[in-house]
Every structure is written in structure tokens, then in C-alpha cells.
Amino acid sequence: MITVLCSGGIDSWACLCWACNKFGPNNVRPVYYSFGQKYSEREIAAGKKLCARFELELKVIELPAAMLLKEFGETAHIPLRNLLFLVLSAAPEDCNGVVFGMLLREESEDKNPKFLKQVRKLLKSQFVATPHRPEAKPFQIYTPFVHMTKAELVKWLCMTKFRKEGIFDSTACYNPIRPCGKCISCLNRWVALELNEIYDEDWLFVDRTVPGAPASFASFATRSHPFWMVLDIALGKRKPLVEKPTLMLRWKHRHNVIEGYRAANNFCKRIWGVSFVSMMRFEKGKGKCSES
């Protein structure tokens, strides 16, 4: 049996598709670990929709609320979370592998190549043949998308209609009610969709106090669209996640920067018919006018 860590996002949807294609739906077990996250209801609802596409049932495992140590920053990062999930998923005797959604240049301490190498070594040492376990247990951690960015992952999902439609059942953002449009999670999702010409989710960021307001008007009125995050980063109005990133770190994350600017340029041309550079100049001009 292969376990898929299913959080209801695009990454876990891709992992579910990959696992079902490779091992067959009958050999796949999607799992969601719930330990009191404020956004768990949205993720579980999305996960169930995604699993239903393969006629699978999402197994929700309740953990003590004490497991939720502390969420850090706007990424809602929880230390040790992925380590805990991998160990718990590997524990059942019938589990021979876990599919772990990890993308190119994800550098948190519990989601990077070095971390995976150490966890694989640890689990391998626990599944060897011993007097207590006469036969060694085969086990593998699969990371099928470790060489892809999220935009490339979405491109892979768009290869068939079935996979592409599942994207709209997935979720993102750690807001318990609806996507905020102002966090890194919303930004990464929007960039991936924009670069693959999927514009169906612009309505999520429309100001609902203005009936029928188009995305162009709403994003000007509320600045809740992820595009404004890219613009603020480009203009230096938004602090980076890492203070004073080194040259090496900048080089590592060049893919994310390039894709973000490409998505912003596409959006500007699609909504306003101008380039991203023109929009930056316009924003700078507004700032000078307001100062004067």
C-alpha cells in the first residue's frame, strides 16, 4: 500500500494522480493529518473532492492539538510537521511507501533534499530484518516532482482534462474562510495558474461588496489580488521572506523570481494591455504624486 499525504492542494493532487497512475487506485491510501489547524476544514473538504475523482476515501487522522507547536510567518510553517507526517505514514505494516509533494528549491528545514536523505536513512534502519522482524520491510519515499516548479507541475496536470479539472477542486492559503490573495501560498498558486493560462480563479479576489465587479476593478479597489504582491516586491515595498538573502540563495530561487515576473507581465497585458514595466512606472509615479 502506498500512502499519499493529501492536504487538498495542487501539489497533493498531482501526487495522488501520479500514485494512482503508477500503482493503481486500489494500492493507494490518501491520508490527511488533522491537529487543530484553523484551515483544516477547507483542506479536508478539498481533499475529499480530489480523492473522489479516483473513487478513493480520504482517511482523516486526528492528532492531539499539542502537535500544533507554532505557525511561523505568513507561510504558516510548523517545525517538524513533515518529519512527523512521514514517520506516522511509514508506521503501518502494510505501508510500503509514501508519496511526498516536494518541489524544486523548497528549502525549509523539513522539506529539502538533505532532510529527505536523512529521513530515508533513518526509516531504512528501522525496517531491516531483525530478530523481532524476521523479514525486512520494503519502504520508499517518492518525490516525483522534486525537479519541477509549481508552474511546471500545473503544466503536467494540464496534460489531461481529468487532472486539469481537479485543480479547481484543490485549495491553497491558510485563511480558514477563503483565499486572502495576500500570502505566499496564494501567490505561488496564482503564478502557476497564470503561466498555464488558467484564469478561472481571478474571481476569488473580487471585492464582493461591489456586485459584478470585474477582476480589474476589484484588484485596483482592494489590492487583494496576488499580482500586487509581485508589484510590491519589485518596488521594494514588501519585505522578503529572508532578510538580506545571500547571492547563493538568490541564485537558488531564480526560478521563482523569473516565473513571478513572467506571471505579472502576463497579467498586466491581459487585464490592462500594458507591460509589467509600464505598471511599475505608473505605481512609482503615483507615489511621487501623492508625496507632492
CA 59 to chain centroid, in Å, comes to: 20
Is residue 94 exposed (0-12), middle (13-18) or buried (19+ Cβ within 10 Å)? exposed
**Residue matched to cell numbers 484553523:** 38
Is 216's pLDDT higher than 60? no
Percent of the chain with pLDDT over 70: 82
| pLDDT-above-90 percentage for the chain | 35
Q: Distance between alpha carbon 28 and the CA centroid of its chain, in Å?
A: 21
User: What is the pLDDT, as a whole number, of residue 30?
Assistant: 96
pLDDT of residue 203: 72
pLDDT, average across residues 34-38: 81
Q: CA 255 to CA 10: how far, in whole Å? A: 18
Given CATH 3.40.50.620, say whether it is the number of domain 2-151: yes
The Cα–Cα gap between 268 and 275 comes to 6
Domain ranges of the chain: 2-151, 173-291
- Average pLDDT on 216-226 reads 67
Q: What is the pLDDT of residue 19?
A: 96
**Cell numbers linked to 50:** 480530489
Question: Model confidence at 290, in pLDDT bands (50, 70, 90)?
Answer: very low
pLDDT of amino acid 217? 55
pTM surpassing 0.75? yes
Average pLDDT of the chain, as a whole number: 83
Tell me if 238 sits within 8 A of 229, measured CB to CB: yes
